[in-house]
Amino acid sequence: MPLRRTFPVLVLAAGGLAGAGCAQPQPQQVVVAPPATRQVVAPACDTRFRVVNRSTMTVRNLQFSHSSLSGWGADQLGASMLPPGQAMLFRAANTGNYDFRATWVNGHTAERYGVNVCALRNVIITNSGIAVD
């Protein structure tokens, strides 16, 4: 706990000290707070991540959305696809947990829920599902 300093302060009654027989004012203590300390600011969340297709099949659709939302949202690949061995960079719009869904050209899907995008570097699509690191 920081130390607090006290300083004596004279408080004068209205009319000052004019005239004989006026009593001397008694000093009062006023507590003065120390200067504010600098706050340590946490580094900003980097919401960029890379999606890597390590499966043996082309990914036709990739969707991700904040976990608080009920829908998957738009296909993030647009008119593109993600062939095996390829990667693409993305940036999430917000911080927090995200859900991911990959759909291969054969129509099968893989999903991963509740991934903290601030701690995420890679979303890895494999034949057995979606991994993150």
40 within domain boundaries: no
Whether 64 shows a pLDDT value over 50: the answer reads yes
52 closest CA partner among 128, 127, 126: 126
What is the rounded CA–CA span in Å between residue 111 and residue 99?
7
Which residues span the domain enclosing 53?
48-132
| Predicted confidence (pLDDT) per residue in 9-23, tens digit | 444 444 444 445 556
Asked if residue 82 lies in contact with residue 58, where contact means CB atoms within 8 angstroms, the answer is yes
Q: Is the dihedral of CA 75, 67, 88, 91 positive or negative?
A: positive
Q: How many domains does the chain have?
A: 1
Instruction: Please list the residues that pair with 95 across neighbouring strands.
Output: none
Given this model, what pLDDT does residue 81 score?
98
What is the rounded CA–CA span in Å between residue 126 and residue 86?
12
The domain that holds 76 is classified in CATH as 2.60.40.2890
Q: pTM higher than 0.75, yes or no?
A: no
64 within domain boundaries: yes
56 within domain boundaries: yes
Whether 117 shows a pLDDT value over 60: the answer reads yes
